[in-house]
Amino acid sequence: MSTTKWIVDPTHSEVQFKIKHLVISTVTGSFNSFNGEATVPADSNDFSGSSIEFALDVDSIDTNQPQRDEHLRNGDFFDAPQFPKITFTSTSVEKAKGDTYKVAGNLTMKGVTKPIEVTAEYGGTAKDAYGNTKVGFEVTGVVNRKEFGLTYNALTETGGLALGEDIKLIANIQLAKA
């Protein structure tokens, strides 16, 4: 079967995460350096059966607070020197309903690999000003940070935990036909 390769366009993509802080508010962060590709059955408007590889550079974490970012890079959290990448490799991509796909795969973070499932909403296909064919997706999901060895937490004065366990993932990804 013939396939088409698509490459992540980092200039027109973003990867964010959200986590509860003190259970009363949400802190948002992003990874500013990442790459990926998708191999799709050729000449298809259906992305079912695609394979996806994606990697984030842990050192590129950005929560708009340099001191917090440094803490996130150290051994209490991501341990960037020892585990510089967070990776995702799909195991299946299936159409769920309308323009929505269920993407299952293996996420590796801090040396721990676990299966996860995310939702990818197809935004459309268009040609840019240079004639390049692009597709867009909004990817959402939730992972439990403790399952990946990110167990650090602090207690508040009242005995509550400073950080939630679930991390919301939000990625707006634009792919360019290779």
pLDDT given for residue 20 in this prediction:
78
Rounded CA-CA distance 119/107 in Å is 14
Residues of the chain with pLDDT under 70: 1, 23, 43-44, 152-162
Compute how many other C-beta atoms are within 10 angstroms of the C-beta atom of residue 81. Answer: 11
Range of the domain at 20: 3-177
Compute how many other C-beta atoms are within 10 angstroms of the C-beta atom of residue 168. Answer: 16
pTM for the whole structure: 0.91
Give 103-137 pLDDT, tens digit per residue. Answer: 999 999 999 999 999 999 999 999 999 999 999 99
| Closest by CA position to 55, among listed 93, 104, 12, 89 | 89
pLDDT given for residue 82 in this prediction:
97
Rounded CA-CA distance 125/4 in Å is 14
The answer to whether 44 and 50 have CB atoms below 8 angstroms apart is no
Compute how many other C-beta atoms are within 10 angstroms of the C-beta atom of residue 98. Answer: 8
CATH code (residue 158): 2.40.128.110
Backbone angles phi, psi at 61, to 5 degrees: -60, 140
The answer to whether 163 and 20 have CB atoms below 8 angstroms apart is yes
pLDDT given for residue 67 in this prediction:
94
Number of domains in the chain: 1
